[in-house]
């Protein structure tokens, strides 16, 4: 287990809602009036004397859908599950990944389907430990190149790479984890917004790795986790990633205070909102004015299931 606060989310997607959570306002639909009117016998009677021409009404702008914060919520404790782990991935990959050069991303679901917003790590197999590796990530028509450097030491469970890793051009260190594998420290898989949209549109990324005549390529499915959820981006103070809501939906974020019951929180006030982009992943920065300490507070979007309600 590499990140217990996050990995629990995927294990609890089937939990029934236990609190009154916010939902979008009810929608009404209009039924077109199909009644017909008999024309009068006299053509002149069809037009009222002195009547003004009927004005053409402009279509009403469609209101943006907005979620509603729950007045109270219950935070479920999380734990268990697996994090990114290149060694554990090998049995789930084609057999040639363990016998030849290979490159892939390890995620919370293993290597077959990597969800955005959750921790990920880069895995390399069959590459030398004494030379850099050039890794190119392609999503649709967008490509990003990273120099990956084998380094001494071990993978850390407490140090995280930036969420823009593989998209910011910065060097990335990888470490020997045995079985011919090199693995990076993990990061919250939250690429910059244009890359996010491209990845979700393509539904996958392609990784290409090259090192002095050795090369590997792999196309990997990438998804947005459901149901809607949230968590802090690892290593990024006050950066809350919110995901899974519908595109263009406005999602408020509230500050909650713990009640006398251990895992029950009451809404203090709304502290901001995000509008879901095409990728259905948005990053909310807690305002600097929200300066609370201890575990008596938490921050949350309108969710049916809140896991380990995050404290700012």
**Contact partners, residue 208, CB within 8 Å, separation at least 6:** 103, 135, 136, 138, 215, 216, 217
Whole-angstrom Cα distance, residue 265 to residue 294? Answer: 14
Handedness of CA 181, 223, 118, 287 (dihedral sign): positive
Q: Name the phi and psi angles at 209, rounded to 5.
A: -125, 135
**Cα distances (Å, whole numbers) of residue 197 to 34, 140, 145, 202, 203:** 42, 10, 18, 9, 10
Q: How confident is the model at residue 51 (pLDDT cuts 50, 70, 90)?
A: very low
b/e per residue 270-294 (b: at least 16 CB within 10 A):
ebbbbebeebbbbbbebeeebeeee
Whole-angstrom Cα distance, residue 138 to residue 210? Answer: 14
Model confidence pLDDT, tens digit, residues 171-180 = 999 999 999 9
Q: Tell how far CA 24 is from the center of its chain.
A: 20
What is residue 24's DSSP assignment?
Answer: P
Q: How confident is the model at residue 50 (pLDDT cuts 50, 70, 90)?
A: very low
Model confidence pLDDT, tens digit, residues 53-103 = 555 666 665 567 899 999 999 988 776 667 899 999 999 999 999 999 999
What is residue 165's DSSP assignment?
Answer: T
Please list the alpha-helical segments (H only) found in 203-291: none
**Contact partners, residue 232, CB within 8 Å, separation at least 6:** 238, 239, 240, 241, 310
% of the chain surpassing 70 pLDDT:
77
**Cα distances (Å, whole numbers) of residue 149 to 156, 175, 177, 273, 292:** 16, 9, 14, 39, 40
The pTM of the full predicted model, rounded to 2 decimals, is 0.78
Strand order in the sheet with 239-243: 229-232, 239-243, 281-285
Whole-angstrom Cα distance, residue 249 to residue 276? Answer: 5
Q: How confident is the model at residue 308 (pLDDT cuts 50, 70, 90)?
A: confident
Identify the pLDDT of residue 110. Answer: 87
Model confidence pLDDT, tens digit, residues 107-138 = 988 898 899 999 999 999 999 999 999 999 99
* Alpha carbon distance, N-terminus to C-terminus of the chain: 24
Model confidence pLDDT, tens digit, residues 205-254 = 999 999 998 999 999 999 998 889 998 998 887 899 999 999 999 999 99
**What region, left, alpha or beta, does residue 78 occupy, with left being phi > 0 and alpha being psi -120 to 50 degrees?**
beta
CB 290 within 8 A of CB 284: no
């Amino acid at each position: 287990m590499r990140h217990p606060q996050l990995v629990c989310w995927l294990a609890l997607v089937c939990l029934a809602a236990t609190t009154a959570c916010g939902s979008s306002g009810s929608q009404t639909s209009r039924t077109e009036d199909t009644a017909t009117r008999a024309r009068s016998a006299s053509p002149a009677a069809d037009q009222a004397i002195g009547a003004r021409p009927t004005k053409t009404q402009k279509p009403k702008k469609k209101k943006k859908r907005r979620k509603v914060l729950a007045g109270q919520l219950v935070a479920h404790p999380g734990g268990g599950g697996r994090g990114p782990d290149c060694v554990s991935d090998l049995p789930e990959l084609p057999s040639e990944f363990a016998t030849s050069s290979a490159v892939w991303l390890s995620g919370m679901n293993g290597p077959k389907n990597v969800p955005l917003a959750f921790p990920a790590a880069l895995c390399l197999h069959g590459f030398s430990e004494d030379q850099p590796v050039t890794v190119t990530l392609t999503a649709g028509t967008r490509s990003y190149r990273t120099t990956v450097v084998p380094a001494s030491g071990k993978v850390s469970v407490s140090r995280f790479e930036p969420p823009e890793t593989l998209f910011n051009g910065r060097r990335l260190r990888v470490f020997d984890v045995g079985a011919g594998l090199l693995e990076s420290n993990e990061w919250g898989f939250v690429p910059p917004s244009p890359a996010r949209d491209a990845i979700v549109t393509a539904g996958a990324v392609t990784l290409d790795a090259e090192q002095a005549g050795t090369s590997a390529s792999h196309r990997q499915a990438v998804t947005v986790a459901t149901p809607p959820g949230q968590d802090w981006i690892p290593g990024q103070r006050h950066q809350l990633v919110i995901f899974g809501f519908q595109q263009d939906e406005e999602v408020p974020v509230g500050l909650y205070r713990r009640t006398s019951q251990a895992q029950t929180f009451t809404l203090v006030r709304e502290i901001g909102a995000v509008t879901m982009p095409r990728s259905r992943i948005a990053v909310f920065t807690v305002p600097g004015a929200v300066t609370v300490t201890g575990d008596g507070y938490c921050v949350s979007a309108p969710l049916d299931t809140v896991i380990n309600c995050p404290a700012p």
